[in-house]
Structures are given as C-alpha cells and as structure tokens.
Chain A
C-alpha cells in the first residue's frame, strides 16, 4: 500500500516536470517525429502514465528521461498504425536508442525549443495562428485559454491549431533553424508572434486602449527563452527589454480605485525597479550587437519614459527622435500615431496634429489609439466640437472599461 507522502510527492514531481520541461519535451519529440500533434498526444499519455506509476514505484531519478522513453513507445505504436508515417519509423527507432541513452547516461537531452519556435512562426503557417501555436506547443497552454485571450471560440481555436499542426506534418516542414540568409525575416516572425502574445503597448499615448491582457507573463517567458537561446541576436534582447519595460509599469497603470492613470501621471514609486533594471541590461547588451531594429527602438522609447523615475521629467524630444527612426524603419499605423503624440508633447499640439492628419483616414477608421490622440490634441488646440466627435469615436472603439471611463472624463473636462 502506497503511503500518502509518496503519492503527493509523485504528484508534485509530475506537476513540476510539466511546468519546467513541457516545451523541451515536446520540442525533442516533435523535432524527431516531425509531428507536433502526435508528440503532444504521446507526451500527454506519458504524463498520464506517470500519474499512475510514480506514486506506486516512486519518482524516477530522471523524470524527463522516463517521460521521453514512455512517450516514444506511444509514438512508435501510432506510426505503425498509420502507413503515411511509415517512413518515420526508422527515425523513431533511433529515438528509442537515444531516449535509453539519456536514461542511462548523465547528459541531459538536447533543447530543441528554438526549432519549435521557428517552425511555429514559419512563413507557411498562417500569421494569425503562429502565436497560439507557440503558446500551445512551447508553454502547453490549452485552446480554451488561448481562444479567450484572442477573442476566438475555444472550439474554433482548437480547429485552427489542429490544422496548423497537420500542415507541419503533411507538408513535411523541417524542424531546422533557418539558414543565415533567411535568419533575419524568420527571426522577425518569431519576435512578432511573441510580441502579439504580450499584446499591450501603447500606454505612452494618453487614453489609448490597452490591448489583450492576460498572456503577458507567458509572453515574457517566451521572450526570456528566445533571448537565452539566441544571445547574439540584438532584436531578441530588444523585444525582451520592451516587454519588461511595459510590464514594470503594470501596477501603476491603475490607481487604488481602479481608475486608468496615463503614463505621464503615473507614480514612479509604483514601477518595478528590478524589471526596469533587467530591461536596461538587455538593451545595453543588445547595443553591443550594433544592429538596430524595431524592437530595440520601441524599447528605447520605453527606456526614456523609465528615466522619469530618476530625473523627474520626460524627455519628449528624445522620444520624438526615436519615433522618427522607428517610422523610417517600420511605418506602421501604431508608430505613426505614437510619433504624432510624442511630437505634440515635444513641439506643441499643432505640430503633432499635422502629423496625425497626414495619416490616411481609411487606415485609422477603427484604430482606437488614433482617436484617443486626435481627441487629446483637438482639445488642446481649442477645437471643441471636433474634439467631442473624436472623443466619441475613441470611447466607442474602446475595449477597456477603465480607459473608457478616463476618456469619458476627459471629454467632459473641456
């Protein structure tokens, strides 16, 4: 009869291994079977067996190796049942030897998560599903959680994920790192996908809608992982710095009553000093690569904001200049609106308004941050009725209750 201590210790070990090693285990199994869905099924099965076996027989000395050995059995059984995958069997048999090697020797199994990240953000995979695919395969999030963060029904999200995994398998997409000539665009897709998971950015614009929340911690995990696996890529460090700077201010974005506080009025005492410090370290490490990019520039903007904690003021001219560089590199609507907002602070509302007006109106029809900035600048230049109309649009397009409340107040206080 097993005792309770042994049972709870075994459950804890299963949980810990799932949390710490899920992505590594999937990466290892998927890179060899070239079938993400089968790797997930096999690993789920191995975890289920661990829950049954470990309480009775004790936690194995190398839990990961035990899980891999168990999972590959399932993979081979699965492959034998489907003729399509018959040619995968030699690879899988090699995997058996490897897994047994791992169990007997001291070396740990290779980390294939980088290949997993790159295949999730492969150009052959629809851009809209890359982030969900990463969250599921590397971090083990379920379709319901991902669907909810992306405003997609759980069942539909599950279907899209399955379709993407089927494509990886059936199109025989290679689990390999891209060649040097392709690395830059491919890395960019990985970075984009991670940033989408982070999702909130434009809090330097007064009253702009904060976008998706809830996956910020997961996105930072992915960012840390990528920066560790690719320490010589300045943009990977830039992305991590950007997310850390934004995350450092999370607590200061709402006052104790839950009301929205614009960045310029945030109490710097509420900012996380340790996150800012980590972000600054990433940025200076990135600078050594002497290869500027979009994420480093965006992080640099947040870095200037962070300096207010030391200097007590915001250097808007510096921010406007970095935006200028950003717009030249990637003229997205977000960057154009951000530049207009910064120029308005640095050189006056009129100058900012001119830049805002130059943005094509079709592109901004339902882009909430544009209307928030437009309303703010129109109010400052005393164009009251235009300001009211712009506030109305910003309020109507707003998703976040606290931000909406703030904008309603602003529109009345003219």
Chain B
C-alpha cells in the first residue's frame, strides 16, 4: 500500500533549508532520513518544494484563466515537500512519519494513496 508523507513547514523551516548558517543542520538530519527510507526499499518517489512565495495559483472561472501570485492556502504552515512510500500498513507509515527530522514547527500529514482500482 502506498502512502504519501507530506511535510509541512513554517517560514523558519523553509529558510533553514537554504540559509548558509542553518542548512547543514537541516540536511545533516534530512539526508540520512531519506537515505534510510531508500535503504529500506520502500521509496516510491517524492520532491522538495520551493517556498510558498514561489507559488503561482491557477484556476478557471467562467472559461477564463485566473492566475494569481502566491499559494492557494494562506495558512502559516505550508507544504514543503513529500515522499511516497510503499509499506504494508498505516502503522508502518506512521512510524516513518515519526522519524521525520522536523523543526519545532514541523508536522507530517500521512495519507493513503488512491490505487488504480479506485479509478475504475
């Protein structure tokens, strides 16, 4: 069963990924986490996302294209990246979520992926 682990971050944590003074600490913890996922043979895919100020939101209204600068939701924590893993059950997925080396504001949302049969 595939699950997506979504990493939510506040501004400070987004900055910690690239700030020359803080990035070693961030990646020093995150890189081994990702490697452990890959070594466990459960990694399906994933990506790190640039901060929400780089986001552009597109929607269609009355056949017209509306383009807006910024993220869709304006909550304090924003999606900063995600990893898709393939594990036997939700408990195992939550174990891996608990290992995410989050900063003080960090949190992980875990969701089961839809399978091909859901779309039939």
Contact = CB atoms under 8 A, between A and B. Distances in A.
Interface of A: 151-153, 156, 365-366, 391-399, 401, 404, 408
B interface residue count range (under 10 / 10 to 19 / 20 to 34 / 35 or more) = 10 to 19
A395 B99 CA distance: 9
A212 to B, nearest CB: 10
A28 B32 CA distance: 51
Contact of A397 (B31, B36, B94): B36
Contacts, number: 46
A398 B99 contact: yes
B99 A392 contact: no
Question: B interface, by DSSP: helix, strand, loop or mixed?
Answer: helix
A340 B40 CA distance: 23
A151 B98 contact: yes
Contacts of A401: 101
Given A151-B91, A152-B91, A399-B99, A393 B29 contact: no
B98 A396 contact: no
Given A151-B91, A151-B95, A366-B40, A392 B32 contact: yes
29 contacts: A151-B91, A151-B94, A151-B98, A152-B91, A152-B94, A153-B90, A156-B90, A366-B40, A391-B32, A392-B31, A392-B32, A392-B36, A393-B32, A393-B36, A394-B32, A395-B29, A395-B32, A395-B33, A396-B33, A396-B34, A396-B36, A396-B37, A396-B39, A396-B99, A397-B36, A397-B99, A399-B99, A401-B101, A408-B28
A393 B39 contact: yes
Given A151-B94, A395-B29, A399-B98, 20 more contacts: A151-B95, A153-B90, A156-B90, A366-B36, A366-B40, A392-B35, A393-B35, A394-B32, A395-B32, A395-B33, A396-B32, A396-B33, A396-B34, A396-B36, A397-B36, A398-B99, A398-B101, A401-B101, A404-B101, A408-B28
Interface of B: 25, 28-29, 31-37, 39-40, 90-91, 94-95, 98-99, 101
Contacts of A153: 90
Nearest to B29: A404
Q: Which are the 6 A-B pairs with shortest beta-carbon distances?
A: A396-B36, A396-B32, A395-B32, A392-B32, A151-B94, A396-B33
B32 to A, nearest CB: 4
B29 A365 contact: no
A102 B5 CA distance: 55
Contacts of B98: 151, 399
Contacts of A391: 32
Contacts of A398: 99, 101
Contacts of B91: 151-152
A394 B37 CA distance: 12
Contacts of A152: 91, 94
A404 B30 CA distance: 11
A151 B99 CA distance: 11
Contacts of B40: 365-366
A408 B35 CA distance: 15
Nearest to A209: B99
A151 B98 CA distance: 8
A396 B94 contact: no
Contacts of B90: 153, 156
A347 to B, nearest CB: 30
B71 to A, nearest CB: 27
A301 B91 CA distance: 32
A401 B25 CA distance: 12
A123 B94 CA distance: 26
Q: Of residues B28, B32, B90, B94, which shows the largest number of chain A Cβ atoms within 10 Å of its Cβ?
A: B32
A127 to B, nearest CB: 13
A365 B99 CA distance: 15
Contacts of B29: 395, 404, 408
A269 B69 CA distance: 58
Contacts of B33: 395-396
Nearest to A366: B40
A401 B33 CA distance: 12
A262 to B, nearest CB: 19
A151 B31 CA distance: 23
A401 B28 CA distance: 12
Contacts of A392: 31-32, 35-36
Nearest to A156: B90
Contacts of B28: 395, 408
